[in-house]
A and B are shown apart, each in its own frame.
Chain A
């Protein structure tokens, strides 16, 4: 009973977060300026980090959190590269 409750809660959380990813993707596809799209991808990376951590909890594997660590720390660099490039001067 308790186990079913736990997996249900986590699955609902994952579905809600994936809905957030889809909303951000719509803005990323229709956004008028490149800055809009960069904002969308910035929030998408944060949501994806949490989704990975939730999957790790669903599978009950502690070591899977390493992927979330790498992703959460490095996704920031993509955003920084594109943001520096958009200032019309090269990086």
Chain B
């Protein structure tokens, strides 16, 4: 039983460190990537993973908090993809150009947002 407790606490520390590392790497990607669409990848995916991991680490360290932590994780899982989709769509519709190294633009090829022009 004591061993289980020790494993739980150290797993909590592990998730906490991993999560905060990803919370640092996501904004670093936002700073370094060349255009909006690449920055969207770094900013949303990495930050979502980091947030979920760090919150889960807190939940492991304090087992009584796990219920509210799970609700918080659920909110982040629900809201982050929707907002990133909205940003990407609005950026494409307000005609933000792709960076020079991009090779394919499927929306342009298939005329998905043609009516927006």
Contact = CB atoms under 8 A, between A and B. Distances in A.
Given A35-B96, A39-B30, A84 B90 contact: yes
Contact of B64 (A38, A44, A62, A88): A62
Given A27-B39, A43-B30, A79 B55 contact: no
Interface residues of B, number: 50
A12 interface: yes
Contacts, number: 162
Interface of B is mostly: helix
A6 B12 CA distance: 10
Contacts of B26: 20, 43, 47
Interface in B72-106: 72, 75-76, 79-80, 82-84, 86-87, 89-91, 93-94, 96
